[in-house]
Structure formats: structure tokens, C-alpha cells
Structure 1
Amino acid sequence: MKTKKNKDRNALWMSSIDNAAKFIMLLCFLIGAVVIALKQDAWNAAAENAVTLSPMVKSMMSNLLLVYLVVGGIVVVALMCCADKRRVRAQFESIGLTNHAGMTPVLLRKHQERNHSQIIIWEFRNYSIPLEEWEKKRAAIETALSINIIKIEYSAAKRHIRIYAVPASHELQPVIPWSDCYLSNENFVLTLGESHLGLMTVNLNHIPHILIGGSTGSGKSILLKSLLMQAYRKGAVIYVADFKGGVDYPKIWHEKCRMCTDERALLYYLTQLTTVLESRKKQFAESGCPNLDAYNQITGENMPRLIFACDEVAELLDKTGADSERKKLIAQVENKLATIARQGRAFGVHLILATQRPDANIIPGQIKNNMDFRVCGRADNVLSQIILDSTIAADQIPKDTQGRFITGDGTVFQGYFFDESKL
């Protein structure tokens, strides 16, 4: 503990020294520029009267301020970069980001990301520190460098590490009200929320099914409803399974969507969906169309997309304590969902499922493996592992946030809050 405190004290002390040194360097540089500017006329006169000086030297004397600004600026920037490197190394040492020999990563360069000017890429010489160790210390690195990390990845055959980040002042808003301007004009692109990279979207033409995880109060129901609202406005037919007594879905949802509140109705609706899927399969084959959009374009029809959503899929598939008849019913439900998950993309039949139950047996592999897009809100390690196959949701989503989610590739976004009465 004493060693850790000493490291923190040393890092703080070195950071203060570096900041003071930077200020003094910059001040001296500016004073030098002012002095040269005031004396420039004298230098010009001396250059004109000097007979023995070469033309190059005379030119430099006549443009001394410009020469000073260019050369001095390069020197000051180089010295400041050295100070940054020392500060970063001290910070990394204080948080214990070292290899087995006690070597800390070395900052090689910082530069703007080409496609996103607000993102800064920090590149480090890695010294054989595993990427997992960087991820484990993600929060400490953010504090040390005063940044919000978007992602961390290897580069240069794992010899270097790149951190993509925005300044700590660039925080996601805790609540972002929905506005119709967020509704995408692209065909069946749904807007999830806002990330540090801008709008976060998912295209059902390419990624047909969505799995949402999150503990109670994480905001997953609001995210689900936001996606369904957008799909409805784009002309989709929405089926919603609600086994919570209708509390989560007010009357307006029952008017706009096809709600099922018991297991028999659920099986009936899923049977309808798989029947439609098989019918579309034959129609598309006969017309030589590979997918729904091509079929609508060639035939001139407006065949709608069909979306089945469930706020708590565990309520559908949990076999705990079930008798043989109910187990048989659940098996039929699983079979229908698996068919849609495997074949739904081309035929415009989609699944959006949400769960808060940390039970690996709830969602069978034949369904989960075909849920191409997964996001997770506030969760423990178990639920995060089930949804994303990693614990990044537990590690990176603050426990006191609502509506904050992370994707499987580590992109964090804030979902929208919308008024259900305006569905």
C-alpha cells in the first residue's frame, strides 16, 4: 500500500513538474518572439550593412522572426512531447500497467482519427503487455489520461497498442429525448442511440435479429420500444409477447401492434409467422428474388416486414418447474423461434428479444447463435457473458446509469427516451 501511495505521489509530482516546465518553455518562447519582433528592424539594417555575410545568412537575419517561430516551434513541440511521454509513463506506473520486468508502455504518438476529428488515437510501444490487461485497467487509464476510451486494439503485430478515445469532457448525455429527426431515411435502418462516434444504427437488411440484455432498470425495455416504434413508422407489422400483465405496454401499443399475453396465443402468432415465412420463400423463388426488397421492387408490391418482439424471453422459454405439457409447448415455441432466427433475414421476418435473466440455459444455442446483433446494458458478469460472450458490460457500464448500452465490439451508446403516447 505504501509503495502504491509513493507511486501515486511521484506521478502527481512529476505531472506538476511537467506542466510547470511546459508553461515556462512556452512563456520563454513567446518572450523570445516579442523581443525578436521588436528588434527585427535592427536586424534588417545589420544584414544590409554587413558586407562579409553570405546571402543565406543575410536572408535569415532579415526573416529572423519567421525562422525563430518555425525552428523554435518545432523544438518546443518536441520538448512538450517528451514531457507528455514522461507524464504518461509515470501515470501508467502509478496504476500498475507494466510488464513482468516492470517496464511501462511508451507513448509513440497521438493523432486525430481520419474519419472522426473528435477522436484521438494514442499509440504505445507495448512491451508484451496482454490486451486483456489493458482492458482490465481501462477505467484507471481513462482517469490517468483524462479521456473516455472508445476501444483498445493491437497494432504492428501486437508490438504496439492503439487507444481510440475522446477527451473526458466529451461525455454522453444521461438522457437523450427522442426526436423524429433521428428516424433514418434509409430502408429499415433503425437508430439505437448516440455514441462517441455519432448516431448508432442497425440495418435489418443486413443484421436481421437483435438480442438485448440488461438488469432491471437498465433501460432495455425503453430501447426495445424505441426500436419497435421506428419499425412501426417504417411500415412493419409488429408482434409483441407481453407476459407482465400489460403493465409495460399501455393501450396504444395494443392498438398499433398484435399483442399476445398468453402462451397459446404466442404459439398461434409464431405459427403464423413461420407459415408466412414459408409462403414468402416460395413466392421469392418463383419470382427469382433473393430478398424482400428485391421482391417489392420487381413486383411493385409493398410486402411488409414482420417483427416479433419479447421484453423478457425467459418468461417464454424457462422450463423450470414445468409439467410435460408445458415443456412440449415451450419446445414448439423454441422450434418456431429457431426457424425465424435461421431463415428470417431474406424474407423480412425479424426477432428482437430482450432478457434480464442470467441463465445460459434460457436461450438455446440454435436461437442465440443466429442473433447477429447483441447489446447489453447494466449487467453483472454472468448476464454480460451470456449476451456478449464477455464481461465488458459489467466492466464498462456504470451501475447507476439507465439507457447506457454496449455492443459486442465495445461501442458504448446512450439510447433514446421517447413518449409512448406519440407512437
Structure 2
Amino acid sequence: MTKDEKFKLKRRNQYRLLFRKLFGGENGSLKLLLLISYFLGAMWVWSKQKTLIVFAESMELISPIFQTLLTHSIHAYLVVGGILLTGFAVYPFGRKAAQDQLQSIGLVNHAGMVPILQRKYSDRTNPHISIWEFLNQGIPLDIWESKRTAIEAALDITIIRMKYGKRKSHILLYTVSAQNDLPELRRWKDSYLSSDNFVLTLGEGFVGPVTVNLASIPHILLGGATGSGKSVLLKLLLMQALRKGAEVSIADFKGGVDFPPVWHKKCRMCFDEQELLAFLTKLVEELHRRKKLFASAGLPNIDQYNTETGVNLHRLIFACDEVAEMLDRTGLSKEQKELVNQIESRLATVARLGRAFGIHLILSTQRPDANLISGQIRNNLNCRICGRADNILSQLILDNTDAANQIPKDAKGRFMLHDGTVFQGYLFDEKNI
């Protein structure tokens, strides 16, 4: 494309943008109201012009400039009001600065055009979030995503998420001030325990606590490299589950060394495959028993069953700190592989049917091997949480590489949810379980 063609394309684009800002967009109703008010005001000033002229001539001590404005009131109104109205309609604060910054990091299309800031406004659901709306100039969302950290540095913001607007010609950046970055350490307080039924608090996000409701999202897959804080987050979730009256079982093939004695008193611990298979078999039997109970009572889930019958069935939670280690068949004998197959089959049953009956899985892994977690299990672990990770592990947990790209390599306790929410997990004292 020649320079002349680029210039003509840029000029036509500016005309289209001006037309769109004046007569379209999500602020169309407000703009129309202001335009009507402007013309009504002009009519009022016109009707009072003679009165204003007489008033100006009768006031001898009035400033000459003010006297001139009163004498030519309609002209002054039209000029000043028109400038203000046009400025409101077509020029949001900071547009030029934003364009310069985006151009400096190379966020341009093939014609060299830069995304144009159309407006900034507060999110209706959370006033702490500011939404930047850009005309994206044909730059796809994945290009914006690839330049996320550069955009944050250029605009001095922290981006919570990006998405297309009502049309794909617009990009929405949900942001908070860069000064509101997450703390490197946030200690747990008992006041953080949610009072809502089986809502577990994960940590602190950019706009407040981040939670997961096991009543609606029953199973959790947690990933992260060694030292990312994955085990601490797992224990945080299990601690809250215990506080809410759940019965917790933990598979740990390291002999329980990662779980201090207090966990052994509060939870059932499984240390080998045979013991684990026996436990999971009883867990599946309990699932089917509850299924019959709920069916005979005509009730769909554990919460309604407990409320209607007055029976207090506890939620049952099975956790494993390294599920890939548990399901790895490498180097196993035929009998050992069959044992792992049976364990996997029972996990798949709980993952598929456990939600309504109050039976939950919280599985974590640090090994980036998709073959170790079968599709039947993984596809039913709807809550995905990933800490510091490489591209492969991030892809395994979140189905994208966002955790690898957005979580600093030296971060501890920093995680990303499946919906893109970033949070700092709470650190708690295990002695206070």
C-alpha cells in the first residue's frame, strides 16, 4: 500500500469515525438529549437577546468583554456551546495520549492505523472497574491478548480481561489502576470465611475476594509448578470445607509428609493404591445410595434434601495433591495398571455424577501431561485454577497459555481462574484448622 493510499484510507476512516461518534454508539440517546437541549437553549437565548442587549447597555460598570458577550449573546452561545458539545461527542479524555502509547508498542493494523479510544466508563456491576472502549481498526482480539503486558505498561493500567464489544469492530478492556496491583502476600483471616452455603474463598482479586461455589461448580482442577503455592491453596480450600462441616479424604502417596498431624486427625488419609481403591469404591456406593434416597423423596440435590427432610447429609470431598502421580501407568505391571484403571473409573463416576449428591473432587497436578488425566475426569472439572506454569501446563489446566504469559515467573500464591480472573491466594496457619 502506497503512502497516498494509506493517507486516503486514514482520512476516510476519520470521516466514518466522526459520523459514528456524532450519530451512533451506545451514548446515542444522551447525545440526542444534549443536542436537543443545545438547540432549545439557543432558542431561549435568541428570544431574550433584546433584553440582554438592553441590560448590557444599562450597566455602565460592566466589563467590556462581558458587555460584548451579552450584546452578541446568540453568537457567543452558538460558538461556545457548539465547541463544548462537539468535544463531548467526539473526543474522550486521553484519546490522543492513548493512541500515541499504543502506536509506540506497535499495536497498529497493516495500514499503520492505531486503535482509537472511544470512551472510558465505570462497569455497572463493579464501580472499581474502568472499561476502555476502543475502535480496534481491524486488529483481532488475539493480537491484543498477545500484547497485553505491553498495553498495561503503555496505558499504566492492569487489565482484568479483554473482549469484543457488541460488534467485533470494538474491543473492551476491563481495567483497574496499575497502583491497585495484587499484594505479594495476603494472610488468611477467619472473617474471610464465606457465610454462603459451600462457597469457598480462593483469594484476593483486583476487585475483591474471589470465590467458588461447590454447590454449582462441584469439582476443581488445580495446577501449578513446584513452589507456585498450589499445595497451600489446596489446603486452604480443604480447611474451609472442614469448617463448613464436610468430610474430607486426602490421597497422599508420600506417606502424609506434606500434611502435618493436624490433618490426619481431621481427615481420612489414603497412602497407597489398594487403600484408595477401597475408599473410592465406598464413595461410589454412597453416591448411588444418595441417588436412591433423593429419587424416593422426589428431591434433586443435597441442599433441598437436607432442607425438606431435616436430615443432615454431609458433603464429601476427595482431594489429591498430585493426581498425575496417582494415575501414572509408566513402568507398572499388568495387575498394577488394572488397579489404576479401577481407580480412574471410580474418579470418573464421581466427576460425572457427584454434584447433585454433594460429592466433590479437588485434584491438583504439577505435571504437564494431558494423557495422565482422562477426558471423562478432566471434562467434568469445571473449575480450573492455574498458578505459575509453563505453556504446556497452562494449556492442560486452562485450555490456553494465559497463566504462563500473565503470572510472573517468581510469583508465589498467584493464580488464574478458567474465566481469566487473577487472584492472590491466602496464606494460612495450618495449626488453626
Give CA-to-partner distance per residue, 1:240-298, whole Å, 9 cap, x none: 01112322100000000001111111111111110100110111111111000111111
The CA deviation at 1:81 is 4.9
Residue 49 of structure 1 corresponds to 58
Change (3 A) 1:94 1:263: same
- Specify the SS of the correspondent of 1:336: helix
Aligned to 2:248: 238
Aligned partners of 1:143, 1:167: CA distance in 2, in Å?
11
Q: Are residues 321 and 136 of structure 1, via their aligned partners in 2, closer, same or farther at CA, if it must alter by over 3 Å?
A: same
Tell me which of 374, 381, 384 is aligned to 2:394. 384
2:125 maps to which of 115, 123, 126: 115
The 8 Å contact of residues 388 and 409 in structure 2, kept in 1 or not, is answered as yes
Alignment of 1:250-269 (within 5 A): 250-269=260-279
Instruction: Please state if 1:159 is matched with 2:186.
Output: no
Secondary structure of the equivalent of 1:249? coil
Give 1:380's aligned amino acid.
D
Change (3 A) 1:245 1:80: farther
1:94 equivalent in alignment to 2:104: yes
Distance in 2 between the 1:382 and 1:148 partners? Answer: 25
Indicate conservation of the 8 Å contact 2:250/2:318, yes or no: yes
The more displaced of 137-146 and 99-108 is 99-108
1:73: Cα distance to partner?
A: 11
1:358 counterpart residue number: 368
Cα distance in 2 for partners of 1:401, 1:245 equals 28
1:213 is the counterpart of 2:223? yes
Measure the CA separation in 2 of the matches of 1:102 and 1:120.
27
1:81-118 CA deviation, whole Å, 9 max, x = no partner?
56722221111111111112221101101111112122
Aligned residue identity for 2:424: Q
Return the match for 2:183 from 138, 151, 173.
Answer: 173
Q: Displacement, 1:75?
A: 8.2
Q: Distance in 2 between matches of 1:275 and 1:150?
A: 43
Structure-1 separation of matches of 2:70 and 2:317:
76
Deviations 1:226-251 (A, max 9, x none): 00000000000000011123221000
Partner of 1:147: 157
Q: Give structure 1 regions of 4+ aligned residues with deviation exceeding 3 angstroms.
A: 45-48, 70-83
* Counterpart contact for 2:116–2:134, Cα < 8 Å: yes
The corresponding residue for 2:9 is none
Matched, 1:124 2:134: yes
Q: Please give the secondary structure, in 2, of the residue aligned with 1:139.
A: helix
| Residue 196 of structure 2 corresponds to residue 186 of structure 1 | yes
Counterpart in the other structure of 1:331? 341
Question: What amino acid is the match of 2:178?
Answer: A
Question: Partner of 2:221: helix, strand, or coil?
Answer: strand
CA contact (8 A) 2:186 2:424 kept: yes
2:425 alignment partner, one of 408, 415, 422: 415
Counterparts of 2:355 and 2:413, CA distance in 1: 27
Change beyond 3 A, Cα 1:304–1:79: closer
2: CA distance between counterparts of 1:244 and 1:206? 32
Letter matched to residue 315 of structure 1 = E
Q: Distance in 2 between matches of 1:422 and 1:152?
A: 39
Give the aligned residue type for 2:58.
Answer: N
Equivalents in 1 of 2:57, 2:235: separation in Å?
Answer: 79
Compute the displacement of 1:211 (Å): 0.4
Q: Scaled by the length of structure 2, what TM-score is found?
A: 0.81
Gap runs ≥5 in structure 2: 1-51
Aligned mate of 1:346, from 352, 356, 370: 356
Aligned residues: 372
Structure 1 73/232 Cα, relative in aligned 2: closer, same or farther at 3 Å? Answer: farther
In the superposition, relative to structure 1, how do residues 248 and 74 fare at CA in structure 2: closer, same or farther (>3 Å)?
farther
AA aligned opposite 1:49: S
Tell me the TM-score normalized by structure 1.
0.83
Aligned equivalent of 2:300: 290
Partner of 1:40: none
Describe the superposition over 1:332-352 as per-residue Cα deviations: whole angstroms up to 9, x where unpaired. 000000000000000000000
Cα distance in 2 for partners of 1:76, 1:140 equals 32
* Residues in 2 aligned to 1:77 and 1:409: alpha-carbon distance in whole angstroms: 37
| Corresponding residue SS for 1:285 | helix
Equivalent residues of 2:156, 2:177 under 8 A apart: yes
Tell me the amino acid that sits aligned with residue 382 of structure 1.
I
Cα distance in 1 for residues equivalent to 2:241 and 2:426:
15
State the SS of the aligned residue for 2:354: helix
DSSP-derived class of the 1:361 partner:
helix
Deviation at 1:80, TM superposition (A): 12
- 2:409 counterpart letter in structure 1: K
CA distance in 1, matches of 2:92, 2:265: 65
Pair 1:73–1:348, CA change in 2 (3 A): farther
Matched residue type, 1:329:
L
Q: Separation in 1 of the partners of 2:378 and 2:417? A: 15
> Which one of the candidate residues 404, 410, 416 is aligned to 1:400?
410
Q: Using the TM superposition, give the Cα deviation of residue 308 of structure 1 relative to its aligned residue in structure 2, in angstroms.
A: 0.1
Distance 1:364 1:131 in 2: 31
